[in-house]
């Protein structure tokens, strides 16, 4: 299986970055082919600018995103690792969706149709590894916008039987080192089981 891990956190010493390392350690035990995109480390520009907006109905991403497009088309499992900020993905991850999941990559709009056609049939699983400062109940009250983006938008551009997994650490701002360590161990084990 081909696994693409996309990571978005500005601090390589953060808990989210540690979670990414745990995921990669688990995947390293599987024999799967793994590629990693660290959006902050590569200086990814999340801005969907006016020129891209004018061309958004033309097929294809900006030329500088060719490696991202190729990796997305290559993978069977997509693992997104990011902190949940303001109830959703951070701007860098959202910008990756905006700029890479474009017409001709993630979807198409056939002539005369008013329904988009999914193109990422290769993606059969999306796994999200994220942290939340607040509890699960608070996130439910807020509507879990980030989870909805993945399950109701991204997933629909993938294989018809694409499954999603949500590996979240709730209450990260209040929990202690032991609970954090247990979460890292748990997601490493889960990643090894993919």
Q: Read off the pLDDT of residues 79-134 as tens digits, 9 standing for 90 and up.
A: 999 999 998 999 999 999 999 999 999 999 998 998 999 999 999 999 999 998 88
Q: What is the per-residue pLDDT for 134?
A: 83
Q: Number of helices and strands (H, E) in the chain? A: 7, 7
**pLDDT: which is higher, 141 or 72:** 72
Nearest partner of 51 among 13, 6, 102, judged by Cα: 102
Q: Which residues of 43-68 are buried (b: 16+ CB within 10 A; e: fewer)?
A: ebebebeeebeeeeeeeebbeebeeb
DSSP element (H, E) containing 27 = helix 15-28
Distance CA 79, CA 27 (A): 11
Q: What is the per-residue pLDDT for 138?
A: 83
Q: Which two tokens stand for residue 173?
A: 């701002």
pLDDT at 175 over 90: no
Please, which pLDDT band fits residue 172 given cuts at 50, 70 and 90?
confident
pLDDT, average across residues 44-64: 91
Q: What is the per-residue pLDDT for 187?
A: 97
Q: Which range is least confidently modeled, 37-46, 51-60, 132-141, 165-174?
A: 132-141
Q: What is the per-residue pLDDT for 11?
A: 96
Tell me the CATH number at 154: 3.40.50.360
Q: How many CB atoms lie within 10 A of CB 164?
A: 16
Domain that holds residue 107: 2-192
Q: Which two tokens stand for residue 157?
A: 């551009």
Torsion angle of C-alpha atoms 28, 31, 33, 35, degrees rounded to 10: 0
For the chain, how many structural domains are there in total?
1
């Amino acid at each position: 299986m081909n696994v693409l891990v996309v990571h978005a956190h500005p601090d390589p010493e953060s808990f989210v970055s540690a979670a990414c390392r745990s995921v990669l350690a688990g995947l390293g035990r599987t024999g799967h082919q793994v590629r990693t995109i660290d959006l902050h480390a590569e200086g990814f520009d999340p801005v969907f600018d006016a020129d891209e907006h004018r061309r958004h109905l033309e097929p294809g991403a900006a030329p500088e995103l060719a490696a991202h497009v190729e990796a997305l088309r290559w993978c069977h499992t997509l693992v997104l690792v990011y902190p949940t900020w303001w109830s959703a993905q951070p701007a860098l991850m959202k910008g990756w969706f905006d700029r890479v999941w474009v017409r001709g990559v993630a979807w198409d709009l056939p002539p005369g149709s008013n329904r988009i056609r999914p193109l990422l049939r290769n993606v059969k699983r999306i796994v999200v590894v994220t942290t939340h400062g607040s509890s699960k109940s608070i996130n439910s009250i807020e509507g879990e916008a980030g989870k909805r983006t993945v399950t109701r938008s991204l997933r629909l551009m993938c294989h018809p039987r694409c499954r999603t997994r949500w590996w979240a650490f709730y209450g990260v701002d209040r929990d202690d080192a032991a609970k954090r360590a247990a979460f890292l161990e748990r997601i490493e084990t889960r990643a090894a089981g993919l």
